[in-house]
């Protein structure tokens, strides 16, 4: 198992621990990154795109940024593998990403219910990809 895969697992665990400690905003950050890191692992193991190549290609991605590139590649892969799950996964990633942006970048208070919802979404996404690795 790669260290990035281990970090994805640590972030998943950290999200739940942070909620227990009433640290709701950072929990959303960890919920999101557990999935994002697992996406990178999945692209490497499933599609053969190593981490250095992912970084290089993300810099050339038309919409810019590592996150946009990785998420675009993940959605293409899900669409190819499981057309019935594509829209569900796409919506969950979108919702989790919006939670993370509110949590990290805006003067917006994240409460218990929102952090739990982010964790549920994250767990659903994480489980979907982990089962396919």
Distance CA 82, CA 41 (A): 18
* pLDDT, one tens digit for every residue, the chain (133 residues): 799 999 999 999 999 999 999 999 999 999 999 999 999 999 999 999 999 999 999 988 777 689 999 999 999 999 999 999 999 999 999 999 999 999 999 999 999 999 999 999 999 999 999 999 9
CATH of residue 30:
1.20.120
What is the predicted pLDDT for the residue at 63?
Answer: 75
Say how many domains are in the chain: 1
Sign of CA dihedral 72, 94, 96, 29: positive
Domain region containing 93: 3-130
How many residues appear in the chain?
133
Region of residue 49 (phi > 0: left; psi between -120 and 50: alpha; otherwise: beta) = beta
């Amino acid at each position: 198992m790669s260290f990035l895969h281990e970090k994805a697992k640590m972030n998943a665990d950290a999200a739940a621990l942070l909620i227990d400690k009433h640290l709701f905003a950072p929990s959303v950050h960890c919920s999101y990154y557990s999935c994002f890191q697992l996406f990178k692992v999945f692209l490497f193991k499933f599609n053969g795109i190593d981490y250095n190549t992912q970084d290089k290609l993300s810099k050339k991605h038309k919409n810019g940024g590592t996150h946009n590139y990785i998420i675009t590649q993940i959605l293409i892969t899900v669409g190819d593998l499981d057309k019935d799950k594509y829209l569900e996964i796409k919506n969950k990633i979108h919702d989790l990403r919006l939670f993370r942006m509110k949590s990290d970048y805006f003067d917006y208070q994240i409460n218990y219910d929102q952090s739990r919802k982010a964790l549920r979404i994250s767990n659903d996404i994480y489980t979907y990809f982990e089962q396919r690795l």
